[in-house]
Amino acid sequence: MNNKELQRLTESISENLFNKKFKHKAYFNNRLRTTGGRYLLKSHNIEVNNKQFETYGTKAVIDIIKHELCHYHLHLEGKGYQHRDKDFKELSRITGAPRYCSAITNYEDRVKHVYQCNHCGTEFKRIRKVNTQKMVCGVCSGKLIEIC
């Protein structure tokens, strides 16, 4: 799927599911890492993570577009477009837009640092580095040592 096909798909979902036109741009953004897509408030464009399409296919992209179109249409109508707003929750339920997309990589694959308590031996896996001078074991309050 390319950007032109994504644009057509977004326009058709908007007309068929929301009965409203999508008048802005929808495109893939390969710099997105932690999100499936996003609605840009200033430009009103929708960006989709191309890794979602590569990993999960068209069904995942359709779900992401539905979710982002909920933000889009509610924002343009001046209603509550944020996840916590009643309007957003209601429109998501009506259209079948999911709250989250599937993760591309799991936590275990992203772990870079492993710490072990020198008192009880409990291991802690972390993506980010932890300050072992300040942080202690959550089980026994022992000192943490970085294994790798």
| Amino acid letter, 101 | C
Same domain as 86, residue 17: yes
Same domain as 132, residue 84: no
Q: Which of 15, 68, 90, 123 is catalytic?
A: 68
pLDDT value at residue 106: 74
Show the domain range for 10. Answer: 3-95
Same domain as 76, residue 25: yes
Binding residues for Zn(2+): 67, 71
Q: Containing H/E element for 38? A: strand 37-39
| Amino acid letter, 48 | V
pLDDT digits (tens, 9 = 90+) for 37-79: 999 999 999 999 999 999 889 999 999 999 999 999 999 999 9
Binding residues: 67, 71
- Tell me if 38 sits within 8 A of 27, measured CB to CB: no
DSSP state of 26: E
Check whether 33 has a pLDDT greater than 90: no
Question: Final residue of a domain: which of 73, 95, 117?
Answer: 95
pLDDT value at residue 103: 76
Structural domain contains residue 23 = yes
Structural domain contains residue 101 = no
This prediction has a pTM of 0.74
Catalytic (active site) residue 68: yes
The count of domains in the chain is 2
Structural domain contains residue 25 = yes
What pairs with residue 47 in β-bridges? 27, 38
pLDDT value at residue 104: 77
